[in-house]
Amino acid sequence: MDAILIQLLNGLDKGAAYSLIALGLTLAFGTLGVVNFAHGALFMLGAFCAVTFQKILTISKRVKDESITFFDAYKDQPYLEIWWGDTGAAIIDYAVPLSILFAIPVMLLIGVALERGLIKHFYKRSHAEQILVTFGLAILIQEVVRHFFGANPIPTPAPDVVSGSAAIGSFLGLSDNLVYPWWRLIYLFFSGVIIFAVFAFLKYTTFGMVVRAGMADRETVGLLGINVQKRFTIVFAIAALVAGLAGVMYAPILPPDYHMGMDFLVLSFVVVVVGGMGSLEGAVAAGFLLGVLQSFASMNEVKAIIPGIDQIIIYLVAVIILLVRPRGLMGREGVFEE
Partner 1 sequence: MKGLMQNNLAMMVLFSIVVLSAPIWANPIGANYPDLLQKFAIFGIFAIGYNLLFGLTGYLSFGHATFLGVGSYTAVWSFKLLSMNIIPAILLAIIVSGIFALIIGFLSLRRSGIYFSILTLAFAQMAYSLAYSVLTPITNGETGLQLTQQDPRYLDVLAGVVVEDGLPSTNLFGMLMKANGGYSGFYFAALILILSFYISLKIFRSPFGLKLKAIKSNQTRMKYTGFNTKPYLLTAFVISGMYAGLAGGLLASIDPLAGAERMQWTASGEVVLMTILGGSGTLVGPLLGAGVIKYFENIFSALNQAELIEVFSFMPEFLQNILVFICTPFVGEGWHLTLGAIFMLVVIFLPGGIIEGLQRVSGYIRRLVGFDKEQVNKESKEERA
Residue 165 three-state SS: strand
* Binding-site string for partner 1 from residue 137 to residue 166, where x marks contact by CB under 8 A and - marks none: xxxx-xxx-xx-------------------
Map the footprint of partner 1 across residues 103-122, applying CB under 8 A. 118, 121
3-state secondary structure 174-185: CCCCCCEEHHHH
The region of 66-74, 132-140, 228-236, 282-290 touching partner 1 under the rule CB under 8 A is: 132-140
Say whether residue 338 binds partner 1 (CB under 8 A).
yes
The region of 55-63, 101-109, 136-144, 283-291 touching partner 1 under the rule CB under 8 A is: 136-144
Largest CA distance in the chain: 80
* Binding-site string for partner 1 from residue 200 to residue 239, where x marks contact by CB under 8 A and - marks none: ----------------------------------------
Say whether residue 319 binds partner 1 (CB under 8 A).
yes
Say whether residue 305 binds partner 1 (CB under 8 A).
no
The set of residues, in sequence order, having a beta carbon less than 8 Å from that of 297 and lying 6+ positions away, is 303, 309, 310, 313
The set of residues, in sequence order, having a beta carbon less than 8 Å from that of 235 and lying 6+ positions away, is 27, 28, 31, 32, 211
Say whether residue 326 binds partner 1 (CB under 8 A).
yes
Write out the DSSP string of 17-77.
HHHHHHHHHHHHHHHH----TTHHHHHHHHHHHHHHHHHHHT-EEEEE-TT--SS--EEEE
Q: Can you say whether the dihedral through the CA atoms of 309, 315, 318, 323 is positive or negative? A: negative
Interior angle at CA 323, CA 319 and CA 327, nearest 5: 100
Q: Residue 269: CA atoms inside 13 Å, Cβ hemisphere, count?
A: 14
Closest C-alpha among 195, 265, 138 to residue 20: 195
Minimum CB–partner distance for residue 122 and partner 1 (Å): 8
Residue nearer to partner 1 on the CB measure, 129 or 160: 129
Say whether residue 43 binds partner 1 (CB under 8 A).
no
* Binding-site string for partner 1 from residue 254 to residue 273, where x marks contact by CB under 8 A and - marks none: --------x---x--xx--x
Residue nearer to partner 1 on the CB measure, 98 or 271: 271
Say whether residue 302 binds partner 1 (CB under 8 A).
no
Q: Phi and psi (nearest 5°) for 227?
A: -80, 90
End-to-end CA distance of the chain: 47
Binding footprint of partner 1, residue count (CB under 8 A): 41
Say whether residue 307 binds partner 1 (CB under 8 A).
yes
User: Which of 84, 209, 316, 325: binder of partner 1 (CB under 8 A)?
Assistant: 316
Residues making contact with partner 1 (CB under 8 A):
35, 118, 121, 125, 127-129, 131-133, 135-140, 142-144, 146-147, 262, 266, 269-270, 273, 277, 307-308, 311-312, 315-316, 318-319, 322-323, 326, 336-338
